Amino acid sequence: MTDALLAVEQLTLKFGGLVALDDVSFDIKPGEILGLIGPNGAGKTTCFNAITGVYVPTSGRITFNGTSLARKKKHQITRLGIARTFQNIRLFKAMTALENVLVGTDAHKRSGLLNSLFRTPMQRREEDESHTRAMELLRFMGLEKKADELAANLSYGDQRRLEIARAMATSPQLICLDEPAAGFNPAEKKVLMDLIKRVRDQGYTVLLIEHDMKLVMGVTDRIVVLEFGRKIAEGTPAEIRDNPAVIAAYLGVEDEDAS
Ligand SMILES: Nc1ncnc2c1ncn2[C@@H]1O[C@H](COP(=O)(O)OP(=O)(O)OP(=O)(O)O)[C@@H](O)[C@H]1O
C-alpha cells in the first residue's frame, strides 16, 4: 500500500446496531479513477463521509499521502487535498456561479483578517489569482458564460458541473464525486464521462460513486464493490463485469439460484 494516495484499511463504521461498513480495505493510486459501486444502502456514501471527516470510523485507518486522517476535521481534510461533491447538490444558491467557485479557492488563502480589513497587496494579489483560477475552472466546465448567473437559476446539469468546479477550486489531489450523473440523460452522461477523464488528465485522482454501470465501466481504471457494508469484489471493469458475486448482488439472487 506504499504507493497509495489514499489507503482505507479495515474500516468499520457502525450506526448503533447497524454496521454500515464492515472491515473495508482498498487504496487509490495517484492518477487513478476508482469506482465505488454497490446496491442501495451498501455503504458507499458512508465511506465518502468517513474519508472526508463527516463520520468518525468505529475502527480502522484512513491515510492520505501517508498522513492519518483520524481526528481530522472536515476543513483540515480539505486542506490536505481531498475534495468532494454531494449526492444532493449543495451549492450556495443565492450566489453566482463564479462566487461559488471562489468559495472553493478560499480553502488555501494565506491572508488573514488583518489583510482583509486593510486590503493589503497580498490580499489583492490572492483575490486576483483566485478570480483567474475560478474563471479557468468555469471555462473547463463550459460554464464561463454563466459566471455571473445565480446558481439557483442554472440548469440542473450546470449545477452539477458547478459543484465539480467548486471542488476542483480547493486544489485537491483527490476528488470524490458522489453520483455526479444522477438525473442525467444518456447524452449528458456521455459528456460527463469525458469530463471526468479530462479531470484526471489534469492531474487529479478521482474516487467515483455511480449507479450507472455503463458510465462506471467506461470511465474507471478499477472498481471496488460493496454490498451490505462489505467489500465483495475489486478489479478492473472487465473483471467486475464477469464477477459472479457482483452479478448476484445486482440481480439480488443467490449464487445457487442460477443453476
Ligand atoms: N447517519 C446515519 N444514521 C443511521 N444510519 C445511516 C446513516 N447514514 C447511513 N446509514 C445507513 O447505513 C447504510 C449505508 O448507507 P449509505 O448511504 O452509505 O449507502 P449507499 O451505498 O451510499 O446507498 P445509496 O446508493 O442508496 O446512496 C444504510 O443502511 C443506511 O440506512
Please give the residue that has the higher pLDDT: either 246 or 254.
246
pLDDT at 140 over 60: yes
Cβ(16) to ligand 1 under 6 A?
A: no
Query: Both ends of the chain: CA-CA distance in Å?
Result: 39
Triad 219, 36, 172: Cα angle to 5° = 75
Ligand 1 pocket, mutate which of 11, 13, 18, 216 (most atoms under 8 A from CB): 18
What domains can you pick out in the chain, each with its CATH number?
1-81+172-259 (3.40.50.300), 95-170 (no CATH)
ipTM exceeding cut-off 0.90 for this assembly: yes
Beta bridge partners of 223: 35, 235
Output the CA–CA distances (angstroms, integers) from residue 115 to 125, 126, 132, 133, 179, in the order listed: 11, 11, 20, 21, 39
Q: Which of 48-52, 74-78, 254-258 has the lowest mean pLDDT?
A: 254-258
How far apart CA 57 and CA 51 sit, in angstroms, is: 9
* 45 C-alpha to ligand 1 centroid (Å): 7
pLDDT in tens, 53-76: 999 999 999 999 999 999 899 989
Q: Which atom from ligand 1 is nearest to the alpha carbon of 229?
A: 14
Where is 233: in which H helix or E strand? strand 230-235
* 4 C-alpha to ligand 1 centroid (Å): 26
